Amino acid sequence: MSTLELIRKAIRVMEGSFAESVKLANRLSELNDDQLKVLERVDEACKELFVSEFENYIARKYNGETPKVLKKFGLMGLPISPDYGGAGADPVTWALALERFGQLGLSVVTFVDVLARVACDSAAGKRLLEA
C-alpha cells in the first residue's frame, strides 16, 4: 500500500470517529446550529492540515501551515469570547474541537490549546489572536 493510500485510509478512519463523537454529543446535549457550524469548520481545517502535518511530523519540523489554516477558518482562540477576538466556543464544542485536532497529532492540538491558554492569560492575547 502506497503512502498516499495509507494517508487516505487514515483520513477516512478519523472522519468516521469524529462524526460518531459529534453524533453522540448531539444526543447528549442537542448541539445547536452554531456549534455544528464551528465543528464543520474544525473538520475542514483538519482535512486541509492533514497532509502537511503528516509531512512535517515525518521531517520532525514545525508545521507553519497550522496558524494560517486556523486563521483562514476562524478558529484562532476558539474558546475565547468574540469580544476579545476569539470564536466564543462553549465547553462542549471546545472539547469536540480538541478531539478532532488531536486526531492530527500532538503538534496541532498543542498549538490550539496553548494559543487559547496564552490568549486567556496574557495582556497581549488579543494581539496574538489577530496575528
Residues 35-61 have a mean pLDDT of 92
Whether the CB-CB separation of 115 and 65 falls below 8 Å is answered with no
For the four alpha carbons of 35, 121, 127 and 99, in that order, the dihedral sign comes to: negative
Flag whether the pTM goes above 0.85. no
Confidence of residue 4 (pLDDT cuts 50, 70, 90): low
Q: Determine the structural domain holding residue 109 and report its residue range.
A: 3-130
Q: Give how many domains the chain has, as a whole number.
A: 1
What confidence score (pLDDT) does residue 48 get?
Answer: 94
Confidence of residue 38 (pLDDT cuts 50, 70, 90): very high
Instruction: Give the CATH number for residue 24.
Output: 1.10.540.10
Distance CA(120)–CA(131), nearest Å, equals 15
What confidence score (pLDDT) does residue 31 get?
Answer: 83
